[in-house]
């Protein structure tokens, strides 16, 4: 009898632990008035606009251990982005088209977005280039930053 009670108690504890872990992984879309989401979308807008002009957003936006994948499949890091930020630009008309924030717990968010620029490709100065992307944000020491990104070139609509 004692043996069964111990097994039952162990089972209850395991179920409670599993439910707690599953609940911690619940996700939700940001509400329109969410301050963290507004901050992140504003920073994404500045990064998109930064293709056209050096607005100094990279140092605050990207975590020191950031890793990205470009539309061509090359990897890049924060140092690469800081170098590009200070380089010459040929693009104009840079803008964020869309950004949707999904939170995973209290310290992780993924933003699904799109943007465009004209003249980003120096060989085609009048061509509009569009991309969709996924950025992973992490909150460390009370500060939200991007730790990973994946960019994909798409047909402009």
The full 3-state SS of 108-147, as one line of letters, equals: EEEEEEEEEEECCCCCCCCCEEEEEEEEEEEEECCEEEEE
pLDDT grade for 10, boundaries at 50, 70 and 90 = very low
Residue ranges of the domains in the chain? Answer: 28-154
pLDDT of residue 157: 87
Would you identify the CATH topology of the domain 28-154?
Answer: Nuclear Transport Factor 2; Chain: A, (3.10.450)
- Distance CA(150)–CA(73), nearest Å, equals 9
Edge-to-edge strands of the sheet including 128-140? Answer: 27-29, 92-104, 108-118, 128-140, 143-154, 62-69, 75-77
Please tell me what DSSP assigns to residue 103. Answer: E
pLDDT of residue 3: 53
What's the rounded mean pLDDT across residues 43-71?
97
Nearest alpha-carbon partner for 151 in 131, 128, 137, 136? 131
Tell me, yes or no, if the pTM score tops 0.85: no
What's the rounded mean pLDDT across residues 72-80?
97
């Amino acid at each position: 009898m004692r043996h069964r009670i111990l097994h039952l108690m162990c089972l209850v504890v395991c179920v409670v632990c599993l439910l707690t872990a599953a609940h911690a992984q619940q996700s939700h879309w940001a509400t329109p008035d969410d301050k963290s989401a507004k901050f992140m979308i504003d920073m994404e807008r500045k990064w998109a606009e930064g293709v056209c002009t050096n607005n100094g957003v990279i140092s605050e936006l990207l975590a020191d251990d950031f890793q990205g994948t470009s539309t061509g499949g090359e990897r890049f890091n924060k140092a690469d982005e800081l170098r590009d930020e200070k380089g010459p630009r040929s693009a104009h008309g840079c803008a964020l088209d869309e950004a949707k924030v999904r939170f995973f717990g209290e310290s992780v968010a993924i933003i699904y977005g799109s943007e465009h620029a004209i003249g980003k490709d120096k060989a085609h100065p009048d061509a509009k280039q569009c991309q969709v992307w996924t950025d992973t944000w992490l909150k460390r020491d009370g500060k939200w930053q991007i730790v990973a990104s994946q960019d994909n070139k798409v047909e402009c609509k």
